[in-house]
Structure 1
Amino acid sequence: MSGLLIITWGVVFSALWASAFVAGKVALSFTDPMSLLCVRFGMAGVIMLLVALLRGDGRTLFRRDVLLAGAVMGALSNALYLGLSFVALKSLSAEAVILIVSTAPFITSGLSALLGGPRSVVQVLGAVTGFVGVYVVLSAKLGGGADLTGILLVFLGTLSFSVGTVFYRMRAAHHDPLAVNAIQNLFGSLLLVPFSPNLVGTVAALEHLPFLLAFLHLVVAVSIVDFLLWLALVRRIGAAHASSFHLLNPVFGVALSAAFLGAAISSRDVLGGSIVLLGLVIVSVDAVRQQNASRKTLPLAAEKTL
């Protein structure tokens, strides 16, 4: 896979990922966080389950290892990560939540290295460069009045998501992504049922156009399309490299917040966004270099065994 294609996939992924918190901010004016996520995950899971069954993947869906992988991912990447983040979204701005989530590359890289994953000085340089850009974009936006409890919840959610990413790369990447994503959404929804006090009201809120549009975006564009794209990136370039695209989230978060929530765009936003893009180019080029190096070593290893 070329560096340009990796960057394209990563940019699309990041734009959709950041849009989830903006759409979530709109949707949360109609219901509570847990009820919203419970209905969202359930709807996304049912849709993917039906698609998988129509494709004839029923046996794959209900294999024990696929169910286990989906359950672990549903707990870590759905119930905990998004549950904690959306609760915090009630007291924090969308930009603040996106900034904290963008620390995922550092957590994921650290976990990957501890578990024997690849280490790269260039990867670290790209991640640090990107985070400098993130800081330039949103440092002023976090000044004064930030809810410390909300910040802690998002950090805990991001840690959970990073653990889920490393787990998927090491234990579940060989499974069908659609099957894993279907099970993880359904399991995430089931986990949140006891904490969702307004399920009926959330469904009833679909009669309001702003909520309907935000909800459909969260279900189709984010839970289904974007998460499948995320799993594809993790499978192609690894957990640490894929997580680096979270550094671009604040740039899209600022732009989308300006478009839909009335936030202002400053010269610092433009400068920080340019620095983030530089960091992403460094990381993507390093990912391609590592892929090419691994392809070259495979034939050599085969020759030695002969």
Structure 2
Amino acid sequence: MNKKLWLTYGMLTFATSTWGSAFIAGKYAVQSFEPATVAFFRFFGAVILLIPLMFVMEKNRQKPNLKDYGLFAVLGLTGIALYNIFFFLASKHAPVIKSSLFIASNPVLIVLLSALFLKETITRNNVIGLAIALSGAFFIITEGHLLSLFKLGFEPIDFVLMGAVISWALYSVVGKVVLKKFSSVESTTYAVAFGTLFLLPFALSETSWQDVQQATGTTWFAIIHMSVLVTVVSFVMYYNGIKEVGAAKASIFINVMPVSAVIMATLFLGENFTSAHAVGAALVLSGVYIGTNPRLFKKKQAGKLVKNEIA
């Protein structure tokens, strides 16, 4: 495996690990603001950083045409506005076990949509790796009690969680189309700018100036963290990963998110790190390794063919 590929996988791991901290930061932020307002402040801060970053990093950038702006608007609507409204609503109203479970199922839909619309080749390793990583994510979320999944009844909030999964899958797949023409920094900047505009009416309708003044320092720190690390740094890294290895393979790394969320919850919220979490983390990392290593099973198959020919 070449150094560039290792760097891409490292960036994808860092990006999705950082997203795990959004569960913790979001928990603090929704104590002062409504979900859409948290999302607006997060991306408003991010776009202030992204625009100058784009001008510095992309000297020879192309001017988007009307179709490009349409695609950027779709990215802003799906991955920025809708996904985050759904995500923060779930943070406030849904059990963490259920929210995490729905988000963890995201890679499955991304792989299916990538195969259908982008004609990406889905290998056996991708499927095996995804299945192992997904089982690890479920193991972490349920703390080893997989049967508890069947005890969770269907509730209205589940439609919100389904909306989050569909929104992010569309964002990942449409993003691959945009990345054929624009860099990861350009794509992220335009998507975040459109998403911020879509979130503005919601924020204005549900938040007063008094709410802004009364927000705690912890809330603002959580929002700044989500703006800088979770959005600017991680989104650019994730989009670069999609550009380098495809949406299907990049999506396998989303399973790292519940691992980091559990570790951060242990460190910052005082939650216990159990043996079930350790087993789940091992499964996730194994799944990611298998899903991103195309030569893993080929050598064994080659050896079998040689033996058959000798026989």
For 1:234, which of 225, 242, 245 is the aligned residue? 242
For 1:214, which of 194, 205, 222 is the aligned residue? 222
Aligned to 1:263: 271
Show CA shifts across 1:216-265 (max 9, x none).
Answer: 11000011000000101100110000000011111111111122223221
> 1:45 offset after TM fit, Å?
1.3
Residues 166-205 of structure 1 aligned to structure 2 (within 5 Å): 166-196=173-203, 197-198=206-207, 200-201=209-210, 203-205=212-214
1:128 aligns with 2:131: yes
195-204 or 218-227, which deviates more: 195-204
46-55 or 269-278, which deviates more: 46-55
Show CA shifts across 1:112-153 (max 9, x none).
Answer: 112222121111000001111112111248666778333331
Contact kept in structure 1, 2:9 and 2:241, CA below 8 Å: no
Q: How many Å separate the matches in 1 of 2:80 and 2:253? A: 19
Contact kept in structure 2, 1:17 and 1:222, CA below 8 Å: yes
- CA shift in 2, pair 1:260/1:99, >3 Å: farther
User: How much is the aligned-residue C-alpha RMSD, in angstroms?
Assistant: 2.7
Q: Extract unaligned runs of 5+ from structure 1.
A: 291-306
For 1:92, which of 91, 94, 116 is the aligned residue? 94
1:107 aligns with 2:115: no
Q: How many Å separate the matches in 1 of 2:295 and 2:62? A: 31
Secondary structure of 1:285's counterpart equals coil
For 1:243, which of 248, 251, 255 is the aligned residue? 251
Contact kept in structure 1, 2:100 and 2:141, CA below 8 Å: no
For 2:166, which of 159, 169, 188 is the aligned residue? 159
TM-score, structure 2 length as denominator? 0.83
Question: Identity of paired residues, percent?
Answer: 22
Show CA shifts across 1:14-42 (max 9, x none).
Answer: 21111112111111111111011112212
Aligned residues: 289
188-197 or 94-103, which deviates more: 94-103
> 1:194 offset after TM fit, Å?
2.3
Contact kept in structure 2, 1:126 and 1:279, CA below 8 Å: yes
TM-score, structure 1 length as denominator? 0.85
18-27 or 131-140, which deviates more: 131-140
Q: What amino acid does structure 1 have at the position aligned with 2:185?
A: L
- CA shift in 2, pair 1:46/1:6, >3 Å: closer
- CA shift in 2, pair 1:65/1:289, >3 Å: farther
> 1:64 offset after TM fit, Å?
3.7
> 1:181 offset after TM fit, Å?
1.4
120-129 or 93-102, which deviates more: 93-102
Secondary structure of 1:148's counterpart equals coil
Q: What amino acid does structure 1 have at the position aligned with 2:126?
A: Q
Q: What amino acid does structure 2 have at the position aligned with 1:275?
A: L
> 1:100 offset after TM fit, Å?
1.8
Contact kept in structure 2, 1:99 and 1:138, CA below 8 Å: yes
- CA shift in 2, pair 1:29/1:70, >3 Å: same
1:149 aligns with 2:156: yes
Contact kept in structure 2, 1:66 and 1:180, CA below 8 Å: no
Contact kept in structure 2, 1:69 and 1:180, CA below 8 Å: no
Contact kept in structure 2, 1:81 and 1:156, CA below 8 Å: yes
Show CA shifts across 1:165-184 (max 9, x none).
Answer: 11111343430222221221
Q: Extract unaligned runs of 5+ from structure 2.
A: 299-311
> 1:272 offset after TM fit, Å?
0.9
Q: How many Å separate the matches in 1 of 2:172 and 2:36? A: 22
Contact kept in structure 1, 2:75 and 2:191, CA below 8 Å: yes
Contact kept in structure 2, 1:78 and 1:188, CA below 8 Å: yes
Q: How many Å separate the matches in 1 of 2:211 and 2:71? A: 29
